[in-house]
Structure 1
């Protein structure tokens, strides 16, 4: 088990008379292997939030989405998910390459329910794991260090609306991102994106802004 509470955690717990409660939760809830029902919950999700940290200790958090089951439990201590086409910054992937510590938050807004997973991640740039995710540029394998269920009382409850049209299909195909059509962006696109962007037609930044406003991106 990783060290959960440091001196500052303990000081706050003592300030609010919650040390006993915190110790109870650590002994009851925090575990190092995913239970079958937790693996099933993760595989039922089509999005999660990923927290990563760079080499200087600066954190970032990002939303990761895909088809249902795009995050897989390879075994009770290992998760894997694909890296799809993004904005080219590779913030999360670059952070993982520098600092393997990650946090993953899985939420069901309909129940509501949430599961937190912490672990050590690694980038996988090729091979069977990557090819098993159609449309993936790479994959991330996460060795689970801690997992625990959080109280869902502050989760705003709502039903699903619709799946993003940009999620890769069974062959890995997906429509071009509208921002790649912006005239000021096109000269800077990777070679693989230039022809599809040109075929889709250029947009001015104002035209792109209008599409964003109408929700058609």
Structure 2
């Protein structure tokens, strides 16, 4: 954890509760760190570039938080530098809640998950929109190759702070592509399903260790 993340996340109310619960001394050490800026290292940049989705929170004009999942092909969330990210805003249900929120309040929070690896990266940032009708050339830079979707705008995020979370309580989950690429995992899922249901070939979940993998649960 960086000092900058501590400054953003640990408000006076949070610090007071940490004090009351006995964890303040542990987190107080981050206040002494000398880190004026949030800069994504090679590990963070590689992790972000590999994501095929993330959760993003914005704040409405009435103060309500709003969380949305954004998905696309791996790499659609682009790393533009040590503290800058960007992605294309594909046309969806046309409610425009996220876009409307950041038009008046630019602060956002992102959760990026690696479920098989049980890793989670949290990011605080400030986000602005670039309208595709105003600057189509700039917006089209964020179009994933071969991905057929209408792009209405691009979102640019200036990273303010980030932190990695511990793997506790992150249940490993696998995509169909990951299962297809891992024979041991595929065989284990089929065997577990057959054992529980008596029907072969039906994927399921168990708390048993997956052969050949470090994770102990799957869902």
Question: What is the TM-score of this pair, normalised by structure 1?
Answer: 0.69
Report what 2:9 is aligned to. Answer: 4
CA distance in 2, matches of 1:150, 1:27: 21
**Please, which of 69, 73, 78 is the counterpart of residue 72 of structure 1?**
78
CA distance in 1, matches of 2:71, 2:31: 30
| Number of residue pairs the alignment of both structures matches | 162
**Please, which of 141, 148, 167 is the counterpart of residue 132 of structure 1?**
141
CA distance in 2, matches of 1:26, 1:49: 28
3-state SS, counterpart of residue 75 of structure 1:
coil
Report what 1:114 is aligned to. Answer: 120
> Structure 1, residues 94-143: CA drift from partner, whole Å, max 9, x if none?
11111100001100000110101111100011333311233321110001
Report what 1:146 is aligned to. Answer: 161
3-state SS, counterpart of residue 157 of structure 1:
coil
3-state SS, counterpart of residue 145 of structure 1:
strand
Unaligned runs of 5+ in 1: 164-217
Aligned: 1:49 with 2:55: yes
CA distance in 2, matches of 1:3, 1:149: 15
Report what 1:167 is aligned to. Answer: none
Report what 2:170 is aligned to. Answer: 155
Q: How large is the RMSD of aligned CA atoms in angstroms?
A: 2.0
* 1:41, distance to aligned residue in structure 2 (A): 0.3
Unaligned runs of 5+ in 2: 144-148, 179-219
3-state SS, counterpart of residue 137 of structure 1:
strand
Matches within 5 A, 1:26-45: 32-45=38-51
* 1:54, distance to aligned residue in structure 2 (A): 1.2
Residues 1:24 and 1:152: Cα distance change in structure 2 (over 3 Å): farther
CA distance in 2, matches of 1:53, 1:82: 20
Q: Is the 8 A contact 2:86 2:142 kept in 1?
A: no
